[in-house]
Amino acid sequence: MIKNFLKKIYYKTSKTKTERKTLQKIDLFKEKYEKFIININNSLKEKKELNFLHSGPVGDLIYSLAIIQKISKTHKCNFFVNVNKKFTYEYYRHNGEGYLISKRIFDFTLPLLKEQKFLNIVKNYENEKIDINLDLFRELPWNNTFTSQRWYFHIIGEHEDLSLPYINVTDHLKLKNKIVIQRSFRFRNIYINYKFLNNFKDLLFIGIKDEYDDLKKQVPNLEWYDPKSFYETAQIIKSSRFFIGNSSSCYSIAEGLKVPRLLEASPDYPVVQPIGKDAFDFYFQPHFEKWFNHLYKKTK
């Protein structure tokens, strides 16, 4: 009897808290963000040329290209990158000097962006008038733990078939048919390891040196290559036998290219998901080895 009474109090209190939080979210959206969504919707209807803004990091920036490619079929699309915007939260071992995208990383990324023919102008943001601020995905009163590309779908109100490529590059002239790997220090899956790869050859790591040195402890036969830009990174991934990585800029490139790929899925922040043909993610060791062997046989 007492237990049921306490349960009723708990549910009543919880419901009140839930309702209060819901009303706060609605008020915040109407006061601060609804006008931006309405303006974006109107810009799509009324304008033939659109200015997009993104502050990074690179992986998030690349995921936005899927919907911009779709919009470019009916609009001229200009892409402005807000360089040196500081992180407002902790981002473990990010190499951007405390910025979402630093000038150094922007320069490293620019050749890849300029190669995308659906982007009319690509440059550093210098207070140009913006029609579609893609940074809204960080601010909106929502839970954004859903597929990254769809953040921008819901901001813009358009959809695209995510099984289709949205990055285009030429093949790499020298590095071909490698099993290409990149494993950042962020978003790692604590339940898996890479030691079984010692039984295989032609393993090429393309992340930063510290990341390479760390993985080489598990995979001594791992080779390392330092690309000159994200454009060359994309060329190497496109020319690979297949790609392996956790959530990172390199995985976002592999996803955009739609090469055969394996994702070391993050149990803590599952916003990145493989979509399309020959694309698999894994949480546990037997499945990592299973899907690796599958792609290894399929790509012979």
pLDDT in tens, 162-204: 999 999 999 999 999 999 999 999 889 999 999 999 999 999 9
Q: 39 with 88, same domain?
A: yes
Residue 300 has a pLDDT of: 86
Q: 223 with 274, same domain?
A: yes
Residue 281: give its domain's CATH number: 3.40.50.2000
Label residues 76-111 b or e (16+ Cβ within 10 Å = b): ebbbbbbbbbeeeeeeeebbbeebbbbeebbebbbb
Does 174 reside within a domain? Answer: no
Q: 246 with 290, same domain?
A: yes
pLDDT in tens, 132-144: 999 999 999 888 8
Q: 64 with 136, same domain?
A: yes
In the DSSP assignment, the letter for residue 14 is H
Residue 116 belongs to domain spanning: 35-156
Max CA separation in the chain (angstroms)? 76
Q: 137 with 192, same domain?
A: no
Q: 143 with 221, same domain?
A: no
Q: 183 with 151, same domain?
A: no
How many residues can be counted in the chain? 300
Residue type, 260: P
Choose one of 156, 190, 207: the last residue of a domain.
Answer: 156
Q: 150 with 226, same domain?
A: no
Tokens of residue 252, six digits: 């976002």
Q: 188 with 107, same domain?
A: no
pLDDT in tens, 247-294: 999 999 999 999 999 999 998 888 999 999 999 999 999 999 999 999
Does 270 reside within a domain? Answer: yes
In the DSSP assignment, the letter for residue 185 is S
Choose one of 124, 156, 188: the last residue of a domain.
Answer: 156
Does 13 reside within a domain? Answer: no
Whether residue 160 is predicted with pLDDT greater than 60 in this model: the reply is yes
Total domains in the fold of the chain: 2
- Closest of 239, 228, 252 to residue 166, by C-alpha: 252
Does 168 reside within a domain? Answer: no
16 pLDDT tier (thresholds 50, 70, 90): confident
Does 172 reside within a domain? Answer: no
- Closest of 130, 141, 162 to residue 64, by C-alpha: 162
Q: 282 with 221, same domain?
A: yes
Average pLDDT score over the chain? 92
Choose one of 156, 190, 221: the last residue of a domain.
Answer: 156
Out of 99-108, 217-226, 276-285, which region has the weakest mean confidence (pLDDT)? 99-108
Cα–Cα dist 74/47, whole Å: 10
Whether residue 95 is predicted with pLDDT greater than 70 in this model: the reply is no
Residue 36 has a pLDDT of: 95
Whether residue 93 is predicted with pLDDT greater than 60 in this model: the reply is no
In the DSSP assignment, the letter for residue 171 is P
Whether residue 2 is predicted with pLDDT greater than 80 in this model: the reply is no
Does 167 reside within a domain? Answer: no
Q: 45 with 148, same domain?
A: yes
Does 173 reside within a domain? Answer: no
Q: 149 with 235, same domain?
A: no
Residue 88 has a pLDDT of: 65
Whether residue 114 is predicted with pLDDT greater than 80 in this model: the reply is yes
Does 272 reside within a domain? Answer: yes
